[in-house]
Structures are given as C-alpha cells and as structure tokens.
Amino acid sequence: MNPIWQRQIERAGLADIAAKVEREERLSFEDGLQLYQTPNLNAVGYLANLVRERKNGNVAYWVRNQHVNYTNVCNKGCLFCSFYAKPKDDPRAYTMTPEQAAQKVLNYGDVPISEVHIVGGVNPKLPYSYYLELLRAVKAARPNAHLKAFTMVEVDQIVRAAKKSPHEVYADLKAAGLDAIPGGGAEVMSERVHEDLFFAKPNAERWLELARAAHQSGIKSNATLLYGHVEQTPEKVEHFLKLRELQDETGGFLTFIPLSWHPEKTAMEELPAPTGVEDLREIAVARLMLDNFPHIKTFWIMNTAPVSQSALWFGADDVDGTIMEYEIIRDPARDRKQVLTSRQLVEMIVEAGREPVERDPLYNVLSRGLESVSDVETLLSNQKADLIQPDANINILTSGIETASQRLKERARNVIELSAR
C-alpha cells in the first residue's frame, strides 16, 4: 500500500479494515458502522477503489438504454415518492396501453438501444394479461434489445393478479420477453422504516423471497438502497448483510445501485437532500461491504454527472446509460427529458480517467472507447419525449381505490403545512 495512504488510513482508524481488504476478507457489521462513522471519506474511498480495481480494473461500464414508465398509478402511497398518482380521481394519473409503450420504444428506433428498462407504479386495476402483453409489445418493437422490467414490488402485484406462484409467473414473463429485473422496491430493509414510510409495500422478507425465486428461475436482477431520508446507519449496514447473504446463496445479483433520495414534491420535502459527500460514501461503503456483487453503479440521474465521475474512484464501475426519458424523480410536466448522449457518457468517463466500455444488461461487451458513439440521443429525445402524452387512462382505470397509506401521506402533508404557518 502507498505509504501516504497507509498513514491516512491509520489516522482514520481503518487499519484493521484495510488489512481485511488486502487479504480479501469479508467485512463485518461493526466494520460497516466504522466505514460510515469515520470522517475521512477519502480513506474509505481509497479502500473501495482497491476493491473496485481488483474486480473491474480501469473499466467503467455504460449502456445505451431507454426507460419506459408505463404507469404512475400506484396504491402504495410511499411518503418518499413524488412519482405516484392515486388510482382514483388524480388528474396526473396515466397508464400506457402496450401499444403506446411500444410506440415509445419505436420513437428511438435510430438509436441502437440494447436495454429497455420498464417500471411503473403498482396499479391494482391492471390484469395479469396486461404485463405479458406489455412485454410482448415492447419486445416486438425492439426484438434485439434486452428487457429489464418490474421491480420486486411490481412482481408481488403481478403474482397476486396471476394467482400463480412466483416461479410460474417468472416462467410466463420470460416467455413474454423478460430478460432481467431491476433492483428497486426494497428501499431500506428495516421494519421501522417500512412501517413509517412504505408499509403498504412488501417487506424485506418478501422482497428477498421474490428475488430468490427470480434467481432460481434463471433471471438476473439488481439490488438498490434508497438513502438520505429517515434511515439510520445500522439499518443500512443490515441492508447490505441481507443482500450479501442472498447473493451467497443464489449468485443472481449483477449490480448494486445506491439511490440518492430526492425530496422534491414528496410528503417529506422539508428534509434536506443527500449531499455529494453522502453519495460518494454510500458508493464506497457498498463496494466494501458487498464483496460478492460484481458491480456497483452510480446512477447519474440521481447523483448528477459530476458526482458520478468522482464515484468512479470511490468504488463505482458503472454509470448507467443514455436513459432517453425519466419520470420517477422529476415533475413530468416540467422535466421529463433527461438524457446524456453516448458521446457525452463516453467523454464523461474518459475525463474521469477511466476506460469506457459499452455493455448490455448482462455485462456483455458491445464496444470500447469512442466506437459507435454519437449525439443522436439528444436530438431524438427533444423530438419524441412528449409525443405520447399520458393524459388519458385506459378503460380499466375508470374505477379505483384509495389506500390507508395514501391517506397517511395526505395527513403528513397537512401536518407539514400547519407547522409552516
């Protein structure tokens, strides 16, 4: 180890952890707490970078992808969410037909997209057949693209609608075109936070059960952690240990993505957003604790492009992709077009001192460096993002329900308004 860094690590009280990292030994719960508590972020980042380069060298992965958020109708009422619309009488509500979703994908037919990322709200009115038709329609529109679709929370609803076992549902989804599953929905694997913020969603045990079934069905998935709201440090470390244990069992996780919470337009918007320093620490601690995860991603949409450049030296080896459109953490009426061109992504990685490699969702290499990059994504995004306006629901949404969690969110907003007076 470099003598300068050796002294920094000793002063930070991380010598024992550094020795474990050098010996490739697994870190403990107590080690995780210490990584969060030390004020020397650079020392933590240095150790994370050792692991990152041991696993992935100087490579930084990116993907030519498109996000399709097929509905914002959701009955879960999570207090940290600004995306969802109530199933009943919400003017912001929309649900795309499978044909509309396919047209969204066809709008970017000139971009050689290798991944279509499909997620949405938990819409209680959608029948099982809808999800299969959605996959078939998008696959028909982009037959060469991998479909990464449905968080475990959506899968839980799909299983309910199907009245089948998770393994049977996964077989049907695969036959319809599903290739992989994104990692959202677990948020923080803490019963306390689950009860406080998202109690209508499946708990950690159910999320892990569905992830296990996906891996047993031959479907790879990602995993996430939503941080920066009301979670506490021990809860985050426990989250890592639960994911690490399942990965030991199945080996089915590809990537871990720390998700930086955005408070804007949520029921908790009075809370401060995470800082860049917090974003970098989450990346670094994740890389050190999740020794059996091949990849750690910095999601530039949430972390910003500049912080993501730094994150490539704090444990991250992936920056996600071109996105095309993203609606989860922005007001769609104000800022749905969120895109970096393939050229911008590659130049961002090169500027950070890493070697850009284009991948598909399963990390097969498609190109290196400046091969096949262009600026066409921005042009098409500017032209196409608003062509299909989500201003009308399909007929199955004409009746709806309001959940207890949604009423809780309304009460939380009222409390916040009263306290501000």
Phi, psi angle pair for 260, to nearest 5°: -80, 115
- How confident is residue 418, by pLDDT bands cut at 50, 70 and 90? low
State the virtual CA torsion across 188, 191, 197, 198 in degrees, nearest 10.
Answer: 80
- Rounded Cα distance between 338 and 350, Å, is 21
Strand-pairing partners, residue 297, are 318
Residue 408 has pLDDT above 60, yes or no: no
**pLDDT on residue 399:** 30
Tokens 């490539």 — which residue? 312
Averaged pLDDT for residues 67-87: 80
Task: Tell whether the torsion through CA atoms of 389, 390, 392 and 395 is positive or negative.
Answer: positive
- CA 150 to chain centroid, in Å, comes to 11
Q: Using an 8 Å Cβ cutoff, are 178 and 137 in contact?
A: no
Mean pLDDT estimate for the chain: 86
Position 166: which residue type?
Answer: P
Tokens 């860094």 — which residue? 5
Higher-pLDDT residue of 243 and 124 is: 243
**pLDDT on residue 86:** 78
Q: Which two tokens stand for residue 121?
A: 């709200």
Domains of the chain: 3-52 (no CATH), 56-420 (3.20.20.70)
- Rounded Cα distance between 293 and 247, Å, is 7
Averaged pLDDT for residues 253-273: 87
- How confident is residue 402, by pLDDT bands cut at 50, 70 and 90? very low
Strand-pairing partners, residue 345, are none
Position 212: which residue type?
Answer: R
Give tens-digit pLDDT for 10-62: 999 999 999 999 999 999 999 999 999 999 999 999 999 999 999 999 999 99
Q: What percent of the chain has pLDDT over 70?
A: 84
Give tens-digit pLDDT for 194-231: 888 888 888 999 999 999 999 999 999 999 999 989 89
The total number of residues written for the chain in this structure: 421
Query: How many alpha carbons lie under 13 Å from residue 397 in its C-beta half-sphere?
Result: 25
Q: Which two tokens stand for residue 12?
A: 């930070």
- How confident is residue 108, by pLDDT bands cut at 50, 70 and 90? confident
Averaged pLDDT for residues 75-89: 74
